[in-house]
Amino acid sequence: MTNERRVLVHPDMDSLIAAVAARFLTKLTDLLDEYQEVNIALTGGTAGGTGVQQAVAESPMRGAIDWTRVHFWWGDERFLPKGDPDRNETQAHEALLDRIPVPAENIHPFPASDEIPDIEQAASAYADELRAHADPALRLTVPRFDITFLGVGPDGHIASLFPEHDVRADDERLVIADRNAPKPPPERLSLTLPVINSSQRIWMVLSGAEKASALGLALAGASPIEVPAAGAQGRRRTVFFVDGEAAEQVPQNLIASSY
Protein backbone atom coordinates (compact mmCIF):
# COMPACT_ATOMS: atom_id res chain seq x y z
CA MET A 1 0.00 0.00 0.00
CA THR A 2 1.38 3.38 -1.02
CA ASN A 3 1.43 6.34 1.31
CA GLU A 4 2.17 9.50 -0.62
CA ARG A 5 2.10 13.18 0.27
CA ARG A 6 1.71 15.61 -2.58
CA VAL A 7 1.14 19.34 -3.01
CA LEU A 8 -0.90 20.46 -6.00
CA VAL A 9 -0.91 24.20 -6.64
CA HIS A 10 -3.64 26.09 -8.49
CA PRO A 11 -3.50 29.76 -9.54
CA ASP A 12 -6.33 31.06 -7.34
CA MET A 13 -9.17 29.94 -5.08
CA ASP A 14 -11.75 29.67 -7.87
CA SER A 15 -9.58 27.37 -9.97
CA LEU A 16 -8.64 25.43 -6.84
CA ILE A 17 -12.27 24.77 -5.92
CA ALA A 18 -13.20 23.81 -9.48
CA ALA A 19 -10.26 21.42 -9.77
CA VAL A 20 -10.92 19.69 -6.44
CA ALA A 21 -14.63 19.28 -7.22
CA ALA A 22 -13.89 17.75 -10.64
CA ARG A 23 -11.22 15.47 -9.18
CA PHE A 24 -13.59 14.38 -6.41
CA LEU A 25 -16.34 13.38 -8.84
CA THR A 26 -13.86 11.50 -11.02
CA LYS A 27 -12.39 9.66 -8.04
CA LEU A 28 -15.83 8.93 -6.65
CA THR A 29 -16.76 7.27 -9.93
CA ASP A 30 -13.68 5.06 -9.67
CA LEU A 31 -14.41 4.20 -6.04
CA LEU A 32 -17.99 3.19 -6.83
CA ASP A 33 -16.62 0.82 -9.47
CA GLU A 34 -14.47 -0.77 -6.77
CA TYR A 35 -16.78 -0.78 -3.74
CA GLN A 36 -20.47 -1.29 -3.14
CA GLU A 37 -20.53 1.70 -0.80
CA VAL A 38 -18.21 4.67 -0.36
CA ASN A 39 -17.65 6.79 2.75
CA ILE A 40 -16.77 10.48 2.49
CA ALA A 41 -15.88 12.71 5.46
CA LEU A 42 -16.74 16.35 4.86
CA THR A 43 -15.23 19.47 6.37
CA GLY A 44 -16.44 22.99 7.04
CA GLY A 45 -14.82 26.18 5.86
CA THR A 46 -14.91 28.20 2.67
CA ALA A 47 -12.68 26.43 0.16
CA GLY A 48 -12.62 22.71 1.01
CA GLY A 49 -16.04 22.90 2.62
CA THR A 50 -18.88 24.87 1.06
CA GLY A 51 -16.81 25.95 -1.95
CA VAL A 52 -16.06 22.43 -3.15
CA GLN A 53 -19.47 21.13 -2.10
CA GLN A 54 -21.29 23.77 -4.10
CA ALA A 55 -19.08 23.16 -7.12
CA VAL A 56 -19.88 19.45 -6.92
CA ALA A 57 -23.60 20.22 -6.75
CA GLU A 58 -23.36 22.48 -9.82
CA SER A 59 -21.26 20.10 -11.90
CA PRO A 60 -22.95 18.17 -14.72
CA MET A 61 -20.79 15.22 -13.65
CA ARG A 62 -22.88 14.76 -10.53
CA GLY A 63 -25.60 13.04 -12.58
CA ALA A 64 -23.30 10.12 -13.27
CA ILE A 65 -22.93 9.30 -9.57
CA ASP A 66 -25.11 6.75 -7.80
CA TRP A 67 -25.54 8.81 -4.64
CA THR A 68 -27.56 6.05 -2.97
CA ARG A 69 -24.25 4.23 -2.43
CA VAL A 70 -22.40 7.19 -0.92
CA HIS A 71 -22.32 7.83 2.84
CA PHE A 72 -21.40 11.24 4.24
CA TRP A 73 -19.71 11.88 7.58
CA TRP A 74 -17.97 14.86 9.15
CA GLY A 75 -14.51 15.35 10.62
CA ASP A 76 -15.79 17.76 13.23
CA GLU A 77 -18.76 19.85 14.23
CA ARG A 78 -19.68 22.89 16.24
CA PHE A 79 -21.85 21.76 19.17
CA LEU A 80 -24.86 23.92 18.33
CA PRO A 81 -28.59 23.31 17.84
CA LYS A 82 -29.83 21.43 14.79
CA GLY A 83 -30.11 23.73 11.80
CA ASP A 84 -27.83 26.41 13.23
CA PRO A 85 -26.21 28.19 10.27
CA ASP A 86 -22.76 27.78 11.83
CA ARG A 87 -22.98 23.98 11.88
CA ASN A 88 -20.94 22.25 9.19
CA GLU A 89 -23.90 19.94 8.66
CA THR A 90 -26.26 22.84 7.90
CA GLN A 91 -23.82 24.38 5.45
CA ALA A 92 -23.25 21.06 3.69
CA HIS A 93 -26.99 20.52 3.27
CA GLU A 94 -27.38 23.93 1.67
CA ALA A 95 -24.32 23.59 -0.56
CA LEU A 96 -24.64 19.94 -1.63
CA LEU A 97 -26.67 17.37 0.26
CA ASP A 98 -30.10 18.89 -0.41
CA ARG A 99 -29.22 19.08 -4.11
CA ILE A 100 -28.36 15.44 -4.75
CA PRO A 101 -30.46 12.27 -4.35
CA VAL A 102 -28.63 10.91 -1.31
CA PRO A 103 -30.84 8.94 1.12
CA ALA A 104 -31.28 10.46 4.56
CA GLU A 105 -29.94 7.28 6.16
CA ASN A 106 -26.64 7.79 4.32
CA ILE A 107 -26.01 11.10 6.08
CA HIS A 108 -24.28 10.78 9.45
CA PRO A 109 -24.03 14.15 11.24
CA PHE A 110 -22.64 14.71 14.70
CA PRO A 111 -25.40 15.10 17.31
CA ALA A 112 -26.69 18.63 17.80
CA SER A 113 -26.84 20.30 21.20
CA ASP A 114 -30.64 20.18 21.24
CA GLU A 115 -30.62 16.47 20.43
CA ILE A 116 -28.09 15.34 23.06
CA PRO A 117 -27.46 18.29 25.42
CA ASP A 118 -24.41 16.75 27.14
CA ILE A 119 -21.39 17.06 24.86
CA GLU A 120 -19.64 14.01 26.32
CA GLN A 121 -22.71 11.88 25.63
CA ALA A 122 -22.87 13.36 22.13
CA ALA A 123 -19.26 12.30 21.53
CA SER A 124 -20.07 8.80 22.77
CA ALA A 125 -23.12 8.59 20.51
CA TYR A 126 -21.10 9.50 17.42
CA ALA A 127 -18.44 6.99 18.38
CA ASP A 128 -21.18 4.35 18.50
CA GLU A 129 -22.36 5.42 15.03
CA LEU A 130 -18.82 5.03 13.71
CA ARG A 131 -18.49 1.56 15.23
CA ALA A 132 -21.84 0.52 13.77
CA HIS A 133 -20.45 1.16 10.27
CA ALA A 134 -16.95 -0.17 10.90
CA ASP A 135 -15.10 -1.96 8.14
CA PRO A 136 -14.09 -5.39 9.47
CA ALA A 137 -12.11 -6.13 6.30
CA LEU A 138 -9.60 -3.47 7.32
CA ARG A 139 -9.85 -4.38 11.00
CA LEU A 140 -11.06 -0.87 11.76
CA THR A 141 -13.43 0.27 14.50
CA VAL A 142 -14.67 3.01 12.16
CA PRO A 143 -15.91 3.11 8.55
CA ARG A 144 -13.45 2.87 5.69
CA PHE A 145 -13.20 6.58 4.92
CA ASP A 146 -12.34 6.61 1.24
CA ILE A 147 -11.78 10.38 1.12
CA THR A 148 -11.56 12.69 4.13
CA PHE A 149 -11.67 16.39 3.38
CA LEU A 150 -9.87 18.70 5.78
CA GLY A 151 -9.44 22.43 5.93
CA VAL A 152 -6.36 23.88 7.60
CA GLY A 153 -6.52 26.96 9.78
CA PRO A 154 -3.87 29.70 9.87
CA ASP A 155 -2.70 28.12 13.14
CA GLY A 156 -2.40 24.71 11.48
CA HIS A 157 -5.50 23.16 13.04
CA ILE A 158 -7.48 20.46 11.25
CA ALA A 159 -11.05 19.43 12.08
CA SER A 160 -11.37 20.72 15.67
CA LEU A 161 -7.88 19.59 16.68
CA PHE A 162 -6.07 22.75 17.71
CA PRO A 163 -2.37 23.35 18.49
CA GLU A 164 -1.37 22.38 22.04
CA HIS A 165 -4.97 21.29 22.56
CA ASP A 166 -5.64 17.56 22.91
CA VAL A 167 -3.92 16.33 19.74
CA ARG A 168 -2.54 12.84 20.36
CA ALA A 169 -1.25 10.43 17.75
CA ASP A 170 -1.93 7.54 20.14
CA ASP A 171 -5.42 8.66 21.17
CA GLU A 172 -7.58 5.59 21.75
CA ARG A 173 -10.80 7.59 21.61
CA LEU A 174 -12.77 7.89 18.38
CA VAL A 175 -14.37 11.26 19.10
CA ILE A 176 -13.35 14.07 21.43
CA ALA A 177 -15.60 16.57 23.14
CA ASP A 178 -13.87 19.93 23.48
CA ARG A 179 -15.50 22.38 25.86
CA ASN A 180 -12.87 25.09 25.50
CA ALA A 181 -11.78 25.35 21.88
CA PRO A 182 -9.64 28.42 21.13
CA LYS A 183 -11.87 29.31 18.18
CA PRO A 184 -15.57 30.11 18.68
CA PRO A 185 -17.84 28.44 19.41
CA PRO A 186 -15.89 26.86 22.27
CA GLU A 187 -17.85 23.58 22.38
CA ARG A 188 -16.92 21.25 19.53
CA LEU A 189 -16.90 17.60 18.57
CA SER A 190 -14.08 16.13 16.49
CA LEU A 191 -12.69 12.89 15.20
CA THR A 192 -9.35 12.11 16.81
CA LEU A 193 -6.11 12.11 14.84
CA PRO A 194 -5.90 8.27 14.66
CA VAL A 195 -9.42 8.11 13.22
CA ILE A 196 -8.59 10.79 10.66
CA ASN A 197 -5.44 8.90 9.76
CA SER A 198 -7.38 5.68 9.25
CA SER A 199 -8.73 7.31 6.07
CA GLN A 200 -7.60 5.88 2.77
CA ARG A 201 -7.08 9.36 1.34
CA ILE A 202 -6.82 12.73 3.06
CA TRP A 203 -7.44 15.80 0.94
CA MET A 204 -6.48 19.07 2.60
CA VAL A 205 -7.69 22.19 0.82
CA LEU A 206 -6.00 25.52 1.59
CA SER A 207 -6.47 28.98 0.15
CA GLY A 208 -4.97 32.35 1.00
CA ALA A 209 -1.68 33.83 2.15
CA GLU A 210 -2.67 33.43 5.81
CA LYS A 211 -2.38 29.64 5.36
CA ALA A 212 1.16 29.73 3.90
CA SER A 213 3.01 29.51 7.20
CA ALA A 214 0.91 26.61 8.50
CA LEU A 215 1.39 24.70 5.25
CA GLY A 216 5.13 25.31 5.27
CA LEU A 217 5.43 24.07 8.84
CA ALA A 218 3.28 21.02 8.16
CA LEU A 219 5.46 20.00 5.22
CA ALA A 220 8.65 20.72 7.15
CA GLY A 221 7.82 18.04 9.71
CA ALA A 222 6.55 20.14 12.59
CA SER A 223 5.16 18.37 15.64
CA PRO A 224 1.44 17.52 15.28
CA ILE A 225 0.96 18.92 18.78
CA GLU A 226 2.14 22.31 17.54
CA VAL A 227 0.82 22.02 13.96
CA PRO A 228 -1.95 19.38 13.80
CA ALA A 229 -1.96 19.46 9.98
CA ALA A 230 1.55 17.99 10.10
CA GLY A 231 0.12 14.83 11.66
CA ALA A 232 -2.53 14.14 9.01
CA GLN A 233 -1.47 11.10 6.98
CA GLY A 234 -3.83 9.03 4.86
CA ARG A 235 -3.24 5.30 4.58
CA ARG A 236 -2.81 5.53 0.81
CA ARG A 237 -2.36 9.18 -0.03
CA THR A 238 -2.29 12.65 1.48
CA VAL A 239 -2.80 15.57 -0.88
CA PHE A 240 -2.55 19.28 -0.15
CA PHE A 241 -4.65 21.14 -2.71
CA VAL A 242 -3.60 24.78 -2.47
CA ASP A 243 -3.77 28.07 -4.33
CA GLY A 244 -0.75 30.17 -5.24
CA GLU A 245 -0.91 32.36 -2.15
CA ALA A 246 -1.05 29.42 0.26
CA ALA A 247 1.90 27.80 -1.54
CA GLU A 248 4.28 30.70 -1.01
CA GLN A 249 6.42 28.82 1.53
CA VAL A 250 6.35 25.40 -0.14
CA PRO A 251 9.72 24.24 -1.53
CA GLN A 252 9.56 23.68 -5.26
CA ASN A 253 10.69 20.08 -4.96
CA LEU A 254 7.56 19.22 -2.94
CA ILE A 255 5.13 20.52 -5.55
CA ALA A 256 3.71 17.75 -7.72
CA SER A 257 3.02 18.31 -11.39
CA SER A 258 -0.04 16.05 -11.30
CA TYR A 259 -2.21 13.96 -9.00
User: What does 63-122 look like in DSSP terms, one character per residue?
Assistant: GGS-GGGEEEEESEEE---TT-TTSHHHHHHHHTGGGS---GGGB-PPPPTTTS-SHHHH
Residue 54's pLDDT is 98
* Series of mean pLDDT values for 10-residue runs along the chain (259 residues): 77 97 98 98 96 98 97 98 98 98 98 98 98 90 97 96 79 91 94 96 97 94 93 96 92 69
Pairing of strands 175-178, 188-191: antiparallel
What residues contact 53, with CB distance under 8 A and at least 6 apart? 42, 91, 92, 95, 96
Q: What is the pTM of this model?
A: 0.95
What distance in Å separates the CA atoms of residue 150 and residue 191, rounded to the nearest whole number? 11
Residue 171's pLDDT is 78
Residue 169's pLDDT is 67
In Å, what is the CA distance from 19 to each residue of 3, 11, 109, 128? Answer: 22, 11, 26, 35
Q: Find, among 119, 114, 106, the residue nearest to 76 by Cα.
A: 119
Q: Find, among 106, 38, 239, the residue nearest to 229 by Cα.
A: 239
Q: Domains in the chain and their CATH numbers?
A: 9-59+68-147+200-206 (3.40.50.1360)
Pairing of strands 188-191, 76-78: antiparallel
Residue 165's pLDDT is 78
Residue 26's pLDDT is 98
Instruction: Give the dihedral of Cα atoms 173, 179, 184, 185; nearest 10 deg.
Output: 90
